[in-house]
Amino acid sequence: MRSNSWTPEKPEFNQIKQKLLEYYVTMNYAKSQLSINAFERVARSLYVPNSQQSHSYNDSPLPIGHGQTISAPHMAFMECDALDIKPGEKVLEIGSGSGYHASIAAEMCAPSTTCPKGWEPLTDYYDDSIYDQYSSSPGAVITIERLKPLVGFAQQNIEKAGYADRIRVIHGDGTIGFEEEAPYDKILVTAAGPEIPDTLKKQLKINGKLIIPVGSKNFYQELILLSRQDKNKWHQRNIGGVVFVPLIGKHGFDG
């Protein structure tokens, strides 16, 4: 793990953030200690437009411009926990958006090792002693965004929040992945495609996992978890119904 720290949440959001985390634990949305710690550490208010600041901890998607949204906070728990992201892993994200989801993944695969001065956990659920059991090899996140304005928005937010050393933001077509850094331990897709792109499946390590919403372009989709068991052997599990913005690109909609 790296010797780094992050930017803490603005104090005015602490109470509602605390209540939201307690709700997630009660409802079993928050399943791992790594994701709980990441939620405490990553300041969601740094990833939303100024016009949406007061809604930072609403448990709902928020508009970030260009027809895109930042997903509801519980989706970060649902997807990252389903992937079982661990320290030391390399994660590919398709659809950077605001950069929030990538930062949650980065805090799980490359945890911060120092705390900002005076920072204290919001809840008793936080526990940083878990990091002792993991390898010191740092993980990383590569995130791809097709919309140029959002590339800049995500990069700016990631830098403000203190995750620029762990996240690489790339402008491009996420449906073709990023062969240069393949294979990946985990692949996280934050937009819904008509099917699982073969290009992404091929960039996944053996025993790696990929999560993607699959279904119609503008309505209901199923969140699919795909595990690669061998070169040509896969296991697929349906996690449940979701609604995401469409995955656009060569192997998505309008391809």
State pLDDT tens for residues 87-109: 999 999 999 999 999 999 999 99
Report the pLDDT averaged over residues 236-249: 93
Say if residue 189's pLDDT is above 70: yes
What's the distance, Cα to Cα, between the start and end of the chain in Å? 39
CATH of the domain at 113: 3.40.50.150
Helices marked H in 84-213: 100-109, 148-161, 198-202
Q: Would residue 96 count as lying in a domain? A: yes
CA distance 83 to 106: 13
Q: Would residue 75 count as lying in a domain? A: yes
H or E element in which residue 167 lies = strand 167-171
Q: What integer pLDDT is reported at residue 113 of this predicted model?
A: 83
Q: Would residue 44 count as lying in a domain? A: yes
List the catalytic residues: 71
Domain carrying residue 104: 11-242
Q: Would residue 5 count as lying in a domain? A: no
Q: Would residue 94 count as lying in a domain? A: yes
Q: What integer pLDDT is reported at residue 1 of this predicted model?
A: 43
Q: What integer pLDDT is reported at residue 231 of this predicted model?
A: 92
pLDDT band of 133, cuts 50, 70, 90: confident
Structure tokens at 57: 């901890």
Q: Would residue 156 count as lying in a domain? A: yes
When the pLDDT of each residue in the chain is averaged and rounded to a whole number, the result is 94
Number of domains in the chain: 1
Say if residue 142's pLDDT is above 80: yes
State pLDDT tens for residues 27-40: 988 989 999 999 99
pLDDT band of 163, cuts 50, 70, 90: very high
